[in-house]
Amino acid sequence: MSLNRVVVLGLGKVGSLVGTLLHESGFKVTGLDAAARGGLPFDTQVTDLADASALRPFLKANEAVVSCLPFHLNIALSKEAHAAGIHYFDLTEDVATTDQIRELAKTSRGLMAPQCGLAPGFIGIVGADLAKRFDRLRSIELKVGALPKHPRGKLGYAFNWSPEGVINEYINDCEVIRNGHRQMVPALEGYEVVVINGVQLEAATTSGGLGTMCETYEGKVETLHYKTMRYLGHFEHIRFLFQELRMQEDRALLGKVMKNALPPVAEDYVFVHAAVEGWEGGQLSREEFVRSYPQMQVAGQEWRAISWTTAASLCAVIEMVRDGVLPQQGFLKQEAIPLDAFFRTKNGAYYLSHDRP
């Protein structure tokens, strides 16, 4: 199936950049949003994104759909993409959504590729690349943190990403591998301190970041987990707010309070820390990929680190599908994507040109 015409749904902080990057990569892009969006280098239209049936003409006119919508809209959209026989890509971290997309992929005519962002997404690609260097694995430890460059207050945080998504990560149980077996553990466990470029960060388990990796590596590794990194002291106050004050019982109210208290900021970092231990040639060793990514300019505009790292990862995958590097049908696991091919794409190369080891 050829891949040139792409429709991008949701033109917010990430979706508008996704459309821009795809346009610069040679795709013919149409962007859809509930509100008028001007100043973008590709065609845009206003439509009701919550009405899946209203999207059918756009899906039929394109070869792929990219969802940058809230996760709860993705199931209906993926069904429409499946019916239209086109490729489907999204950024979801929601496990239940991905499970339903996997079912659709069993009979899809195009590729069904959810979880194409930063975590899940890029961090799993990196972790799998490190893992394949070993004869036998002991542990795969993956961590990502998207943080303001100039933190303030006790939480040291700003909602440059969806408040609803962050709250779900902090509350929902997390899939891990312990002693070689898949398990579910509570969020905000496994506390540890991590140092990147002299910056002390803390890390704890959060949900969704591993995508399908526990399924892939069960029985092959003793330990596998994903943790989110924050500035020191963050998780203590989150536990007080979520658990002791029991605000996690009202996610809508919690999202409203936190979004009002911690608005987005322009300058940020994305910290990536992947470490794999295992045996190679009978010797136990450890391989690491540790980076900090700042905000950068794309097409004459400054973009937050969390926006460009997420968008570039998604667009790199779409490039690889177009170029025949990845499958054209079925379900795509992020850990099946080769890191070297990822870096060779126009968008994957951003991770090389803007990193700070």
For residue range 83-125, what is the model confidence (pLDDT) as tens digits?
999 999 999 888 889 999 999 999 999 999 999 999 999 999 9
27/144 same-domain check: no
Per DSSP, helices labelled H in the chain are 15-24, 56-60, 74-84, 95-105, 122-131, 163-171, 213-217, 234-239, 251-261, 305-322, 339-344, 350-353
Residues in the chain, how many? 357
Q: What is the mean pLDDT of residues 164-182?
A: 93
Beta carbons of 337 and 317 less than 8 angstroms apart: yes
- Rounded Cα gap, residues 242 and 254, in angstroms: 8
Taking alpha carbons only, the member of 103, 106, 56 closest to residue 80 is 56
Q: What percent of the chain has pLDDT over 90?
A: 89
Residue 300 covered by a domain: no
Nearest CA to 315 out of 104, 303, 275 is that of 303
- Same domain for 128 and 168, yes or no, is yes
Q: How far is CA 112 from CA 20, 64, 108, 133, 333, in A?
A: 22, 10, 7, 28, 10
| 302 domain-assigned | no
Structure confidence by residue, pLDDT tens digits, 3-53:
999 999 999 989 999 999 999 999 999 999 999 998 899 999 999 999 988
Residue 255, domain CATH: 3.30.360.10
Q: What is the pLDDT of residue 2?
A: 84
For the cut 90, the answer to whether the pLDDT of residue 213 exceeds it is yes
Instruction: Look at residue 59 and tell me whether its pLDDT is greater than 80.
Output: yes
Question: Confidence band (pLDDT; 50, 70, 90) for 164?
Answer: confident
State the CATH number of the domain containing residue 22.
3.40.50.720
Rounded mean pLDDT, 176-193: 96
Instruction: Point out the domain boundary residue: 244, 269, 294.
Output: 294
Claim to verify: residue 173 and residue 247 sit in the same structural domain: yes
What's the confidence (pLDDT) of residue 356?
57
Alpha carbon distance 355, 13 (integer Å)? 21
Distance CA 185, CA 176 (A): 7
Bridge partners (DSSP) of residue 113 are: 89
Q: What are the two backbone dihedrals, phi and then psi, of residue 253, each rounded to the nearest 5 degrees?
A: -65, -40
Q: How many CB atoms lie within 10 A of CB 165?
A: 18
* Mean pLDDT value of segment 306-324: 97
Q: Among the three residues 294, 324, 344, which one is the final residue of a domain in this structure?
A: 294
pTM score: 0.95
Q: What is the pLDDT of residue 27?
A: 98
Mean pLDDT of 187-205: 96
Give a yes or no: residue 12 inside a domain. yes
Q: Are residues 61 and 85 in the same domain?
A: yes
Instruction: Look at residue 357 and tell me whether its pLDDT is greater than 50.
Output: no
Lowest-confidence segment of 126-140, 250-264, 333-347 by average pLDDT = 250-264
Mean predicted lDDT score pLDDT of the chain: 94
Confidence class of residue 130 from pLDDT cuts 50, 70 and 90?
A: very high
Q: For residue 203, list its beta bridge partners.
A: 192, 229
The residue out of 294, 319, 338 marking a domain boundary is 294
Residues 83, 226 within the same domain: no
Q: Residue-wise over 49-70: b if at least 16 C-beta within 10 A, else e?
A: beebeebeebbeebbbbbbbbb
pLDDT at 301 over 50: yes
Domain co-membership, 77 together with 167: no
Separation between Cα atoms, residue 78 and residue 102, nearest integer Å: 10
Q: 215 and 151, same structural domain?
A: yes
The number of folded domains in the chain is 2
Structural domain including 93 reads: 5-114+307-353
Helix (H) or strand (E) holding 283, with range, is strand 283-294
